[in-house]
Structure 1
Amino acid sequence: MKRWLKLAAGIAATTLAAAGCAGSGGSDAGNQSSAPPKDGTITVWLMTGTAPDSMSAALHKDFEDAHPGVKVKYEIQQWKGIQEKLTAALASDSPPDVIEVGNTQTPFFAAQGVAADLSGSVADFNGAQWLAGLKASGEYDGKTYGVPFYAANREVIYRKDLFEQAGITTPPASRAEWLDAITKLKAKFGSDPDFQPLYLPGQYWYALLSFLWDDGGDVAKADGKKFKSTLDSAGSKAGIEFYKQLVEASGTKAPKDNDEATPQQATIYGAGKVAMFIGAPYEVATAAKTDPSLKEKSGAFPIPSKTAGQTAPVFLGGSNLMIPLNSKNQQLAKDYIKLMCSAKYQGELVKAGYVPGASTDTSGLDSDPLAAVMAKASKNGRAVPASPKWGEVESGQNPLKDMLTAYLTGKKTLDQATADANAALDKIIGG
């Protein structure tokens, strides 16, 4: 499960240079020759850690058997430097035929005119079962350019043994119950000065998104191809206020001027003095390197909604599949993606521990309690604004992080912090 977080919090955060991304723009993949060659090669670029070797080997055999004379040239790409490599490849006359990109990267390539419009093939790609949050990430200007590949999301990971000792018999199913659990944990273990009912860093904006969305707020709203920041809306402010309420109620010792990666929150959890944190299933394995017993002691529940019995929306980190506009094998590329979206290979993704992007069947994750909770929460998943410039938000001086730190430390009022964040965001994604 480590693979997805690297994408959502790292690779997708890097700005993609627009230089060299020339293209005719807006052309449909069907404008290319639809007749597959009798022999030839289709080049596929997937990222390291995505498809297990056994899955890709079976997939390529099935594809080649269905297309006599055609071979799959499968190239695993490394995340380091992939932005520059993709930028150059998609602008060339001989790009790969199928590529995997981060879901927040998709609008960039679509806007640059180097990606094929796949709107007419959505049904062929099992579009009726696409994960809703990823579906939105593959769209730009009313057209579909990215096909959901797979996803993962955050949940609340907790110590079952500490909950039991504090008299908490069932995982919280609302914000009120979550706060009540924090109170009970403090009453039981608060005499230990190092104990934290909830570890929550001040700049954990991925977690903040759940609260914004749950309160009816959002980061920004689309206005044609432009975006208008909405962090000062009533719903957004309510979500930010709840974030502060969690920080203050828990008495977390996490830094208010840094995020969940600095220091690594799984390491903090592994030290044994934290009862809960918002994270991904794989982080338990990281924590267990310090304390192996945490594998058995840890459970999970979806991030609670303010409405009892519902789950809060979650940010979906993941990947999309795209076809470069200049691919010479458009129909073969479509056939490849169609096979990847089939029940057989979506099922293989589930076996590998992913939430499939093109299938609603996640029953294969039920045997893993942490992954099962992640899959349940993913049904209420969402994506960040589909702005071609979103990478600049994450790779630069992220206005959401600055806003949280300023508000949590009291340097700015909520009104001032959100107004300043809006202004900063509008400079990046407003045009």
Structure 2
Amino acid sequence: MKRKLIAAIGVAGMLVSIAACGSDDGGDGDSGKKAGAEGYKGQTLTVWAMDGSSPDGWQKDLKAAFEKKTKAKLKFEVQQWNGIQQKLTTALSEDNPPDVFEIGNTQTASYAESGGLADLSDLKSSIGSDWTESLNKSAVVDGKQYAAPWYIVNRVVLYNKKVWADAGLKDTPKTRDEFYKDLKQIGEKTDAEPIYLPGQNWYHFVGLTVGEGAELVKKDGDKYVSNLADPKVAAAMETYKKFQALSKAPKDKDEATPQQGEVFAKGKTGAFIGMGWEAGIAIKANPAIEKEIGYFTIPGATADKPEGVFLGGSNLAVAEGSKKKELAKEFLKLALSDKFEGQLAKEGGVIPNKTSLESNLKGNAAAEAAAPAAPGGGTTPLIPEWAPVENAPNPIKTYMTAVLKGKSPAAAAKQVEGEFNKRLSQAQ
């Protein structure tokens, strides 16, 4: 493993003050030893959870269960997403890091490579045998378990029931071809826009590449380079182009410019592809639209397999520098248990780390629509070199717009190849 954590944060990062991290008991913690009859009495475990990730009821119940079981105290510290990477990097390089922390699934590989994460392979063998493979993939680096899958969210089709009915459509589609046919029928039989699909909804495009079995990067010697010229990537882009042709959305904007939920709120759009929570944007803009909103899984090429989706979510990790690793694992055993994973799914509407727990989503229409696609979903490349690629102007967005404006996928891939490869080399 590369030990470059401190170097990565720079002098400015070293000056950042991280308050209330790690131990406040002044002791050496469990030092990796098992607790005796008195448990871990007198110790305090610090857990960083991101704002909005864990419902209050879940935190309260888990805290009570943890403190009863271990005799230790549990302190949740809610963190803001803005600036969290530098704050966490700094904290992990210090003597008293947070013991357990939430980490984005696409960020896990970078922190593992930097030496900031403890090896949790023993935890995987004891409680993780039935973790959903697609969710767990981001927590494994170089064959070792450096985090535990916590939850994910993914995109679904949000549709207007009235527009669907006005077009004479009684059922939701089960295949990609049926979906396209239904949207065409909306365009022919109503005055609504069949689908609002901006040209740079690139996370949906990533999902399409997952469905094609494509990779966005490939190895060239000892470095990663663009793989946008792969025919499988081109096939995903052609699918995107086919559906985008039914939309009036701009070809050079993403789903937030304008917010697609606000467009949908006007009642003149058949469907859009987004996160379940985007329904809230539509409802806020037009409360009357709430009764018309429905959800279904993005259909794939065949009825037995949903479309590929991008899995956005979080893992739970233990700091390599924590003095309470055994106590931290006791927390994870509880937090990731069927009881608390199920409660998180029920209260938060997120996809749990086991398919057997998806019954907890019953009654949450958006989550129920998202869950079937999770096992076949994927992420952006799980490599430390990936992060700079997403910085504006994202070359994948540039690629998408170029294709939608008439370039062949091969020509568009060639257009952005230099910038793509430059960014991949920045973290090496």
| TM-score, with structure 1 as normaliser | 0.87
Q: Is the 8 A contact 2:210 2:377 kept in 1?
A: no
Q: Is the 8 A contact 2:150 2:315 kept in 1?
A: yes
Report the counterpart of residue 97 of structure 1 in structure 2. Answer: 99
Aligned length: 399
Report the counterpart of residue 383 of structure 1 in structure 2. Answer: 379
Deviations 1:192-236 (A, max 9, x none): 4xx310000111111112222223323124689853432211111
- Give the AA of the match of 1:328: K
Q: Is the 8 A contact 1:44 1:73 kept in 2?
A: yes
Higher relative contact order (CA 8 A, sep 6+): 1
Alpha-carbon distance, 1:422 to partner = 4.1
Q: Secondary structure at the match of 2:421?
A: helix
Alpha-carbon distance, 1:67 to partner = 1.2
Aligned residues: CA RMSD: 2.2
Deviations 1:245-294 (A, max 9, x none): 1111x1x2211111101111000100111110001111112201222232
What are the residue-to-residue correspondences of 1:342-421 with 2, within 5 Å? 342-352=337-347, 353-358=349-354, 360-410=356-406, 412-421=407-416
Report the counterpart of residue 271 of structure 1 in structure 2. Answer: 266
Change (3 A) 1:226 1:67: farther
Q: d(CA) in 2 for partners of 1:296 and 1:128?
A: 41
What are the residue-to-residue correspondences of 1:323-334 with 2, within 5 Å? 323-334=318-329
Structure 1: gaps spanning 5 or more residues: 1-15, 23-30
Change (3 A) 1:120 1:140: same
Change (3 A) 1:382 1:225: farther
Percent identity, please: 39
Deviations 1:160-196 (A, max 9, x none): 121122122211111211111121101112xx4xx31
**Are positions 1:283 and 2:278 aligned together?**
yes
Q: Relative to structure 2, which stretch is displaced further, 208-217 or 168-177?
A: 208-217
Report the counterpart of residue 11 of structure 1 in structure 2. Answer: none
Q: d(CA) in 1 for partners of 2:164 and 2:208?
A: 23
- Give the AA of the match of 2:177: A
Q: d(CA) in 2 for partners of 1:307 and 1:207?
A: 18
Report the counterpart of residue 107 of structure 1 in structure 2. Answer: 109
Which of 6, 9, 13 is the aligned partner of 1:19? 9
- Give the AA of the match of 2:102: E
Q: Is the 8 A contact 1:131 1:360 kept in 2?
A: no
Alpha-carbon distance, 1:329 to partner = 0.3
Q: Is the 8 A contact 2:120 2:146 kept in 1?
A: yes
Q: Is the 8 A contact 2:207 2:378 kept in 1?
A: no
Q: Relative to structure 2, which stretch is displaced further, 372-381 or 264-273?
A: 372-381
**Are positions 1:45 and 2:35 aligned together?**
no
Report the counterpart of residue 34 of structure 2 in structure 1. Answer: 35
Q: Is the 8 A contact 1:266 1:284 kept in 2?
A: yes
Structure 2: gaps spanning 5 or more residues: 1-5, 15-29
Q: Relative to structure 2, which stretch is displaced further, 225-234 or 113-122?
A: 225-234
Q: Secondary structure at the match of 1:389?
A: helix
Q: d(CA) in 1 for partners of 2:360 and 2:257?
A: 33
Q: Secondary structure at the match of 2:224?
A: strand
Report the counterpart of residue 216 of structure 1 in structure 2. Answer: 213
Q: Is the 8 A contact 2:207 2:377 kept in 1?
A: no
Which of 289, 295, 310 is the aligned partner of 1:294? 289
**Are positions 1:234 and 2:231 aligned together?**
yes
Q: d(CA) in 2 for partners of 1:365 and 1:137?
A: 23
Change (3 A) 1:347 1:89: same
Change (3 A) 1:341 1:221: farther
**Are positions 1:164 and 2:159 aligned together?**
no
Which of 48, 64, 84 is the aligned partner of 2:67? 64
What are the residue-to-residue correspondences of 1:69-148 with 2, within 5 Å? 70-124=72-126, 126-148=127-149
Report the counterpart of residue 200 of structure 1 in structure 2. Answer: 197
- Give the AA of the match of 2:154: N
